[in-house]
């Protein structure tokens, strides 16, 4: 059991141990993991990482909890919001930088609820209408804030089903949500149609562009067709977009951006009776670390449009090559016509989780999905280097599973298979909660 050392250790000793502790983690610099890390390849990547570290370090002790004390940070937040607003085609947009997509989403749901409470206080059981592909951060927000998510099945094209969502609108509805793109299959929901629907019913519409916000605009500039999803759609009220994803910023940075201050107002929380003073806060967290804000500001300024377009091109190229390669492997099928650089595939007549297990033996970290069973890749610029090796390994793993179907009965495949099919979801949740609790529990007692 570890306790705080009685006397402090030396800087060298500590840094050496920190270096050494990383050794067995997933090899993200080499592109072996998807969706968890967004890394810029090559020597430009090394320089970018250094910039992120230095910008972060310069502001590591600062705190945007008090914007008057840290005018520098407030100005950087304003700059980031203005840059993002322009990128999303709304020069008057306002908003906040948050610690990540989940915080942006939690803030949005809280604000939508409070707006409804003020404007329609008779709504006691507020509901948000969302497609089933919406990110679990909305389930978390709904759970925390007493909002019900009305989940509507998606269409055959894996996009939100607008007529089906329209049917669910009732007196309890406080807003609509859709994604650009949704995470599981990388397709952009029909935001233009949803915007019309929202306007017709005078409802706010949130677009979750956590993964797409800082890549779709560049993909569009590269000449590809991207369905309209940003403030050009008149019904869009707010957008979440993660700087620490395709903004390639240091972890801990996202934006929640609103078309106008009127829409944003409900995000601001004020406590007036605390003996410690009047306390106002626009986001979930209290202390707001300056490091990630400074690093995100540095990332936007360092890449500029040209840098981001180049990164988007590299990611698109890698995603295209992966799609072609996967389509050419008999027994695999792509899911969805990805509008971004997300690639998802399923296996036909084979257990895709068994294939995933084999891939992990070869040093890949895979994202397993269900409904339907599939593998997900969020492809970044850093994945250009792994395309050929990934496809070669995938071909080999498919062959292994095809020739030995019993592989589906070993490793983690049966667990994923069962968890996906189990009809009683409460049972699955209890099981997973137990595993998590075990991870966090210790054998020691009071000491």
Ligand X SMILES: *Cc1c(COP(=O)(O)O)cnc(C)c1O
Tell me the C-alpha distance between 248 and 55, whole Å: 14
Give min distance, CB of 293 to ligand X, in A. 15
Of residues 242, 319, 326, 384, which one binds ligand X by CB under 6 A?
242
Query: Which is nearest to 203 in space by CA: 181, 170, 230?
Result: 170
| DSSP secondary structure, 210-251, as one string | TTTTTTHHHHHHTT------STTSTTEEEEEEETTTTT-PPS
Is 374 near ligand X (CB under 6 A)?
no
Cis before 181 (ω within 30): yes
Name the residue with the smallest CB distance to ligand X.
101
Binding segment (CB under 6 A) for ligand X, from list 94-102, 120-128, 318-326, 360-368: 94-102
Give min distance, CB of 189 to ligand X, in A. 11
* Residue recorded with tokens 């980031």: 80
Q: Which residues, in sequence order, are bridge partners of residue 344?
A: 376
| DSSP secondary structure, 156-217, as one string | TTSS--HHHHHHT--TTEEEEEEESS-TTT-PPP-HHHHHHHHHHTT--EEEE-TTTTTTHH
Q: Which residues contact 347 (CB under 8 A, 6 or more apart)?
A: 331, 332, 333, 355, 373, 398, 401
Binding segment (CB under 6 A) for ligand X, from list 15-23, 100-108, 155-163, 362-370: 100-108
Of residues 34, 183, 231, 390, which one binds ligand X by CB under 6 A?
183
Which residue number, 161 or 208, has a Cβ lying nearer to ligand X?
208
- The footprint of ligand X on this chain (CB under 6 A) covers a number of residues equal to 13
Binding segment (CB under 6 A) for ligand X, from list 68-76, 99-107, 265-273, 430-438: 99-107
Is 179 near ligand X (CB under 6 A)?
yes
Give min distance, CB of 273 to ligand X, in A. 32
Binding segment (CB under 6 A) for ligand X, from list 42-50, 85-93, 101-109, 389-397: 101-109
Four-point Cα dihedral 417, 420, 422, 424, nearest 10: 160
Coil, strand or helix at 149: strand
Q: Which of residues 249-288 bind ligand X (CB under 6 A)?
A: 254
Of residues 208, 230, 339, 357, which one binds ligand X by CB under 6 A?
208
Residues 104-123 as x/- pattern, contact with ligand X by CB under 6 A: -x------------------
Q: Which residues contact 127 (CB under 8 A, 6 or more apart)?
A: 147, 148, 149, 150, 170, 172, 173, 174
Is 191 near ligand X (CB under 6 A)?
no
How far is residue 208 from each of residues 259, 322, 398, measured CA to CA in Å? 14, 25, 34
Residues 123-162 as x/- pattern, contact with ligand X by CB under 6 A: ------------x-x-------------------------
Which residue number, 254 or 344, has a Cβ lying nearer to ligand X?
254
Q: Classify the C-alpha dihedral 209-212-215-220 as positive or negative.
A: negative
- CB atoms near residue 87 (< 10 Å): 21
Binding segment (CB under 6 A) for ligand X, from list 70-78, 96-104, 328-336, 437-445: 96-104
Vertex 8 angle, CA 7 and 14, to 5°: 140
Is 211 near ligand X (CB under 6 A)?
yes
Of residues 101, 204, 227, 289, which one binds ligand X by CB under 6 A?
101
Q: Which of residues 26-85 bind ligand X (CB under 6 A)?
A: none
Binding segment (CB under 6 A) for ligand X, from list 38-46, 140-148, 208-216, 226-234: 208-216
Sites of contact with ligand X (CB under 6 A): 100-102, 105, 135, 137, 179, 183, 208, 210-211, 242, 254
């Amino acid at each position: 059991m570890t306790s705080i050392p009685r006397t402090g250790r030396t800087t060298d000793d500590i840094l050496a141990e920190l270096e050494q502790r990383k050794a067995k983690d997933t090899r993200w610099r080499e592109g072996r993991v998807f969706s968890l890390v967004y890394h810029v390849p090559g020597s430009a990547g090394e320089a970018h990482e250094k910039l992120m570290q230095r910008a972060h370090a310069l502001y590591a002790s600062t705190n945007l909890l008090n914007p008057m004390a840290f005018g520098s940070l407030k100005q950087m937040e304003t700059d980031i919001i203005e840059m993002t607003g322009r990128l999303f085609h709304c020069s008057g947009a306002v908003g906040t930088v948050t610690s990540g997509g989940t915080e942006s989403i939690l803030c949005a749901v809280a604000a939508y609820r409070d707006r409804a409470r003020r404007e329609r206080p008779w709504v006691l059981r507020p509901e948000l209408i969302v497609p089933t592909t919406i990110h679990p951060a909305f389930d978390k927000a709904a759970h925390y804030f007493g909002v019900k998510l009305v989940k509507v099945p998606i269409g055959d094209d894996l996009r939100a089903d607008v007529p089906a969502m329209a049917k669910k609108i009732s007196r309890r509805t406080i807003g609509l949500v859709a994604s650009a793109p949704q995470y599981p299959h990388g397709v952009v929901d029909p935001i233009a149609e949803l915007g019309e629907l929202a306007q017709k019913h005078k409802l706010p519409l949130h677009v979750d562009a956590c993964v797409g916000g800082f890549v779709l605009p560049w993909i569009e500039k590269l000449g590809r067709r991207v369905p309209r999803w940003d403030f050009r759609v008149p019904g869009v009220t707010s957008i979440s977009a993660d700087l620490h994803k395709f903004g390639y910023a240091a972890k801990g940075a996202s934006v929640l951006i609103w078309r106008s201050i009127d829409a944003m107002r409900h995000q601001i929380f004020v406590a007036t009776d605390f003996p410690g003073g009047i306390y106002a806060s626009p986001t979930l967290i209290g202390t707001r670390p300056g490091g990630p804000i400074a690093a995100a500001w540095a990332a936007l300024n360092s890449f500029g449009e040209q840098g981001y377009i180049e990164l988007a091109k590299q990611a698109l190229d890698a995603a295209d090559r992966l799609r072609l390669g996967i389509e050419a492997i008999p027994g695999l099928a792509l899911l969805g016509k990805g509008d971004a650089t997300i690639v998802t595939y399923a296996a036909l007549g084979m257990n895709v989780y068994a294939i995933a297990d084999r891939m992990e033996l070869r040093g890949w970290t895979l994202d397993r999905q269900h409904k339907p069973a599939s593998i997900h890749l969020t492809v970044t610029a850093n994945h250009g280097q792994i395309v050929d090796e990934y496809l070669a390994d995938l071909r080999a793993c498919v062959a292994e599973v095809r020739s030995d179907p019993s592989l589906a009965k070993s490793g983690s495949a049966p667990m994923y298979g069962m968890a996906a099919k189990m009809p009683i979801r409460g049972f699955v949740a209890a099981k997973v909660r137990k595993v998590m609790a075990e991870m966090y529990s210790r054998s020691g007692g009071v000491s």
